[in-house]
A and B are shown apart, each in its own frame.
Chain A
Amino acid sequence: MSEAIVRVRDLVKHFGAGESLVRAVDGVSIDVEAGELVLIMGPSGSGKTTLLTMVGGLLRPTSGSIEIRGREITRMSPGELTEVRRHLVGFIFQSFNLWESLSVIENVELALNVAGVTGDEAKSRARRLLEERGLGPRVRFRCRDLSGGEKQRLSIARALANDPLLLLADEPTANLDSRHGREVMRLLRDIAKSGERAAIVVSHDQRIREVADRVLWLEDGRFTDMGKLVRDPVCGMSLEESAAATLRHGERIYYFCSQGCLREFQESPASYVAPSPVG
C-alpha cells in the first residue's frame, strides 16, 4: 500500500441542538490508501452519506479533521474547497445527476471545462473517457436516451474527467439492474486499481463486497465491527443479523430492518419470499 490519499480523524457532525441534536457522524476515523476501494455499509440514517459529503468537501464537520493527500480541508474557505473538489475529487451519484440538456460528450466536456480544460483538448479527452467506458457510439446522444447502466457509466466518465485522486460514490448501483450493477462494480474496481487514486463507495449492495478491499459498517454515526450481514427481503437493505427483526416463515428465518418491513412481509409473504438465501 502507498501513502494515504484520505485521512479522516475523529470526525463529528451534529445537526440541531439540545433535545433535537442528531449525531449523524460521531467520531469516525479512517485512512484510505491509493489503489484501495473501501465500501461503507450501514442502515439508512447511519451517517454514510453525511460522511461522504464531508470527505468530498461539500459539508463542514462539527469537529475532526479530513486530509486529502496531506491537505487539511475542514478549515478551508469555500473557494479553497471548490478548488479541492475541482481537482482532487470525483463524484458518482445514486441518481446519476447528469446535465440533462447536454449531450453525452458535453456532460464530460463540461466537467473538463470546470477543471480548466477547454477546446479541442476537452473534446478529445471527453471522447476518450467515454470510449474507455464503452460509450463511444453514444457520444452525441441526449442523456435521457441512455439506459440506466449507460447513465451510470457516463456519470463515472464525468467523475474521472478531472483525473481525481479520490472517487466518492453514493449508492452507485442502486438504480441499476443486476447486470448493469455488476458492470459498474467492475468499473469501480478497475478505476481504483489503475493509477494513484482511491475510491470510497457507500452502498447497501452486497455485491460490491466482492470487489471492495475493505468493508466498513457504519451505524449511529460510528464504525462498528461488522457481524453477519443479512438482507431485508422487503426493502432490500443490508443489515447486521444481530440488529435485525426476525420472522420464521416456512423453514426459513427472514430478517427485517424495522417492524414496518416485517408487517409488510406478514401481509403478503409470497411477494417477498426469495428463491435462495441471502446474506
Chain B
Amino acid sequence: MVPVARRNLFAEKGRFAISICGVAFAVLLVLVVLALYRGFSRTGETFELLPGSLWIAQTGTTDPFHSESLVQAADIESARDVAGVAAVVPVLVRQMAFSVEDHDLSARLMALDVPAGLPVDDKIRARYLPQRGVLVIDRILADKEGLREGDVARLGAVQLRIGKVQPRSAEAFEPFAFLSYEDARRVFGLEDIVNFGMVMLLPGADETAVAAALEARLPGTQVFTRLEFATAIRKEIDESFLPIIGILVAIGFTVGAAVVGLTIYTATIERSREFGVMKAVGASAVFLYRIVASQSAMLTSAGFLLGLVAALVVARLAREAVPDFATEFRSLDIAGVLVGTVVMAFAASLIPVRRINAIDPALVFRA
C-alpha cells in the first residue's frame, strides 16, 4: 500500500515536527506528574517495608508524622504474651535537628530494638538496623544537604557516622534517618517510654484477632495494621495531591489531543481536494479513515516516544536541581499513558473523519 499518511505528514515537515513536540509536551507533562505522584505516594512505605504486621500506638494517635505517641515500655513487654505474637519491637521516633559539618538539618530519627535472635532479612537490617555509632540516611536527605558516607553527624552530645546512603527514598516529605536503639536512647534521653511497638506475628496468626487482643490487653493504646498506618500517612497526599494530579493529567491529554486533532484537521482541510479525488476514484470511507487514523497514530506514537525520553531526562535534571523532586516511573503508568495516547489519537482523528465524510467528490471537477 502507498504510505499516504506518511507522505502527507512529511510533506509538511515543519508542522509535523511542531506537532510531535506538542504531543511530546503533553506526554511529558502527564508522565512527570504521574511519576511525581508515585514518588510522593511512597510516603509511608517505610512502615510497609518494616517486618511488623501491627503497630501499637498511644490512643488518639493519627499517624507517626502528625501526632506523638508515647507508650510505656512495660506495656510493650507485656504485649509479647498475647497469643499469636512472635515478637514486639520497641520503636523510638522523633523529629530532631542535628548538624553535619557546618550544616544544620532536621530529620525524623527512628530506631528499632530488634532482639538479636529475631530473623530479619539482611536488606532490612542494612537499611533500618544500623550498628551503634552509625546513621543511615536516604538519598533525598543526602542530596539536599550534600551529605556523604563517612560524614559525622552531631546529635546533641552524641556523634554518629553516616554509614550508608540509601539510594531509594521512601519518604519524600519526611526524610528518615535510622540509628541503633542504644544510640536513640542516648540521643532522646528516654528510659521507660517508647513511641511505638512493632508487632511481628507467628505464622498463621489472625491479624485482626491479635490486634483486638492487644487493645484489650493494653488500655490506652490502639493498634494499627501495617496498611492502616501507611494509608493514614498517605491520606494527606492522596487528598491534596491526587485531585491536582488528575487535573494536570487531564490538561496534558487535552493539550495532546488538541495538537493532534488540529494538525490532522488542518492537514485534512488542506488536502480536501486530494481526499475528494480519492473519493471520486472509488476510495471507501474505511480506506480514507485508515489514512487519517494512520496520520494520527504516527504523530502520537512519535510524540509519545519523544515525550517518554524527555520525561526521563527532565525528571533526572529536576532531581539534580531539587532533591525533593521524588519521581518514580512505573511501567504500568507508562503503558497507561501509551494507551491514553492511542485513545487520544483515535479521538483526534474523529473530527477530520467527519470532515472527510462531508467532502463532496464532485468538487474535483471544479477548476
Interface residues of A (CB under 8 A from B): 49, 52-53, 56, 58-59, 79, 82-87, 89-91, 93-95, 97, 99-102, 106, 109-111, 113-115, 118, 158, 162, 170-171, 174
In chain B between 278 and 320, which residues have their CB closer than 8 angstroms to a CB of chain A?
278-284, 287
- With contacts A82-B282, A82-B284, A101-B11 known, is A170 near B4, CB below 8 A? no
User: What is the bound-complex CA distance between A82 and B281, given in angstroms?
Assistant: 8
A83–B367 CB distance below 8 A: no
Picked from A56, A58, A91, A109, the residue with its CB within 8 Å of the CB of B2 is A109
A58–B282 CB distance below 8 A: no
Check if B364 is an interface residue, CB within 8 A of chain A: yes
Interface string of B1-16 (1 = CB under 8 A from A): 1101001101100000
Point out the residues of chain B lying under 8 angstroms from A162, CB to CB. 281-282
User: What is the bound-complex CA distance between A263 and B280, given in angstroms?
Assistant: 40
User: What is the bound-complex CA distance between A95 and B273, given in angstroms?
Assistant: 11
The smallest C-beta distance from B142 to any residue of chain A, in angstroms, reads: 55
User: What is the bound-complex CA distance between A158 and B274, given in angstroms?
Assistant: 14
Point out the residues of chain B lying under 8 angstroms from A79, CB to CB. 284
The smallest C-beta distance from A107 to any residue of chain B, in angstroms, reads: 9
The smallest C-beta distance from B266 to any residue of chain A, in angstroms, reads: 14
Chain A, Cβ-Cβ closest to B9 = A101
B1–A97 CB distance below 8 A: no
Point out the residues of chain A lying under 8 angstroms from B361, CB to CB. 58
B365–A49 CB distance below 8 A: yes
- Given A99-B274, A118-B1, 5 extra CB contacts under 8 A: A97-B277, A99-B278, A100-B274, A110-B2, A174-B367
The smallest C-beta distance from A124 to any residue of chain B, in angstroms, reads: 14
User: What is the bound-complex CA distance between A93 and B367, given in angstroms?
Assistant: 9
Point out the residues of chain B lying under 8 angstroms from A85, CB to CB. 280-282
Please indicate which of the listed interface residues A89, A93, A99, A109 has the most CB atoms of chain B within 10 Å of its own CB: A99
- With contacts A59-B362, A101-B8, A102-B7 known, is A115 near B2, CB below 8 A? no
A111–B281 CB distance below 8 A: yes
Point out the residues of chain A lying under 8 angstroms from B277, CB to CB. 93, 97, 99
Point out the residues of chain A lying under 8 angstroms from B10, CB to CB. 101
Secondary structure of the A contact surface, majority rule? mixed
A102–B2 CB distance below 8 A: yes
User: What is the bound-complex CA distance between A58 and B365, given in angstroms?
Assistant: 10
Interface string of B343-367 (1 = CB under 8 A from A): 0000000000000000001101101
Picked from B282, B284, B365, the residue with its CB within 8 Å of the CB of A93 is B365
A95–B367 CB distance below 8 A: yes
The smallest C-beta distance from A166 to any residue of chain B, in angstroms, reads: 13
A106–B2 CB distance below 8 A: yes
The smallest C-beta distance from A7 to any residue of chain B, in angstroms, reads: 21
7 A-B pairs closest in CB distance: A86-B282, A101-B11, A85-B282, A58-B362, A101-B7, A110-B2, A106-B2
Can you list 26 contacts pairing A with B, beta carbon distance less than 8 Å?
Answer: A53-B362, A53-B365, A58-B361, A58-B364, A83-B282, A85-B282, A91-B364, A93-B277, A93-B364, A94-B367, A95-B367, A99-B4, A100-B11, A100-B274, A101-B8, A101-B10, A102-B2, A102-B7, A106-B2, A109-B2, A110-B2, A113-B1, A114-B281, A114-B282, A162-B282, A174-B367
Picked from B4, B11, B274, B281, the residue with its CB within 8 Å of the CB of A91 is B281
User: What is the bound-complex CA distance between A95 and B367, given in angstroms?
Assistant: 6
- With contacts A95-B367, A170-B365 known, is A113 near B282, CB below 8 A? no
Chain B, Cβ-Cβ closest to A102 = B7
A97–B364 CB distance below 8 A: yes
User: What is the bound-complex CA distance between A212 and B294, given in angstroms?
Assistant: 44
User: What is the bound-complex CA distance between A70 and B119, given in angstroms?
Assistant: 91
Picked from B274, B282, B364, the residue with its CB within 8 Å of the CB of A115 is B282
Please indicate which of the listed interface residues B273, B278, B280 has the most CB atoms of chain A within 10 Å of its own CB: B280
In chain B between 254 and 287, which residues have their CB closer than 8 angstroms to a CB of chain A?
271, 273-274, 277-284, 287
Please indicate which of the listed interface residues B271, B277, B278, B284 has the most CB atoms of chain A within 10 Å of its own CB: B277
Point out the residues of chain A lying under 8 angstroms from B281, CB to CB. 85-86, 90-91, 111, 114, 158, 162
A114–B7 CB distance below 8 A: no
User: What is the bound-complex CA distance between A114 and B275, given in angstroms?
Assistant: 12
Picked from B1, B8, B280, the residue with its CB within 8 Å of the CB of A56 is B280
User: What is the bound-complex CA distance between A162 and B362, given in angstroms?
Assistant: 19
Please indicate which of the listed interface residues A90, A113, A158, A171 has the most CB atoms of chain B within 10 Å of its own CB: A113
User: What is the bound-complex CA distance between A85 and B362, given in angstroms?
Assistant: 12
Please indicate which of the listed interface residues B1, B287, B365 has the most CB atoms of chain A within 10 Å of its own CB: B365
The smallest C-beta distance from B313 to any residue of chain A, in angstroms, reads: 33
Chain A, Cβ-Cβ closest to B4 = A110
Point out the residues of chain B lying under 8 angstroms from A109, CB to CB. 2
- With contacts A49-B365, A58-B361 known, is A102 near B4, CB below 8 A? yes
The smallest C-beta distance from A200 to any residue of chain B, in angstroms, reads: 13
The smallest C-beta distance from B146 to any residue of chain A, in angstroms, reads: 56
